[in-house]
């Protein structure tokens, strides 16, 4: 698969984290088009407006004010038009109970946000090809990416 332009959607309320993600994505040598939304409500609004042209992959922060990442994930899974979307959960949490709850709710990949920038680039570049497998949603690959 040659480097085709991926449409990547990032939902994160934290300005610094959006900056890190954008910077990391630019430094990884992939062709990507990044769209960012700042919270859960904005994410769900974006998805319902663009349900015919969904992004290739969604990076979803968990700890957001208002509608949090888990609620967004559950909303996506309940929606016939959205449930094929590849979702990569993104959080600081290391809580195994919380993580298994996310996989039960339909997450494809879980990324524990690293504190090292080069590790961040690494986990994003690992997550992207996994998300490409969304064509076979029945065999959702469950990954925990811990740098």
94 is a site residue for another protein (CB under 8 A): yes
Least separation in angstroms between CB 11 and another protein: 16
How large is the angle between the packed helices 117-132 and 15-27, nearest 10 degrees? 70
Site string for another protein, 33-62 (x = CB under 8 A): ------------------------------
**In this chain, which of 33, 48, 100, 118 binds another protein, going by CB under 8 A?**
118
Phi, psi of 31 (to 5 degrees): -90, 110
68 is a site residue for another protein (CB under 8 A): no
**In this chain, which of 16, 49, 52, 80 binds another protein, going by CB under 8 A?**
16
Per the listing, tokens 């029945």 go with: 138
29 is a site residue for another protein (CB under 8 A): no
* Beta partners for residue 60, in sequence order: 11, 89
Cα torsion 136, 134, 85, 100 to 10°: value is 80
Q: How many CB atoms lie within 10 A of CB 44?
A: 19
Using CB under 8 A, list all residues that contact another protein: 14, 16-17, 20, 23, 63, 92-95, 113-118, 120
């Amino acid at each position: 698969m040659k480097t085709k332009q991926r449409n990547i959607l990032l939902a994160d309320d934290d300005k610094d984290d959006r900056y890190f993600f954008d910077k990391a994505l630019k430094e990884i040598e992939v062709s990507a088009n990044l769209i960012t939304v700042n919270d859960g409500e904005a994410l769900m609004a974006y998805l319902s407006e663009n349900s015919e042209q969904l992004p290739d992959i969604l990076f979803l922060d968990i700890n957001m004010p208002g509608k949090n990442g888990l609620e967004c994930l559950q909303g996506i899974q309940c929606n016939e038009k959205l449930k094929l979307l590849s979702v990569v959960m993104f959080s600081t949490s290391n809580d195994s109970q919380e993580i298994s709850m996310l996989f039960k709710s339909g997450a494809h990949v879980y990324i524990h946000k690293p504190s090292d920038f080069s590790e961040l680039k690494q986990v994003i570049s690992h997550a992207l090809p996994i998300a490409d497998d969304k064509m076979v949603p029945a065999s959702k690959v469950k990954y925990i990416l811990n740098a």
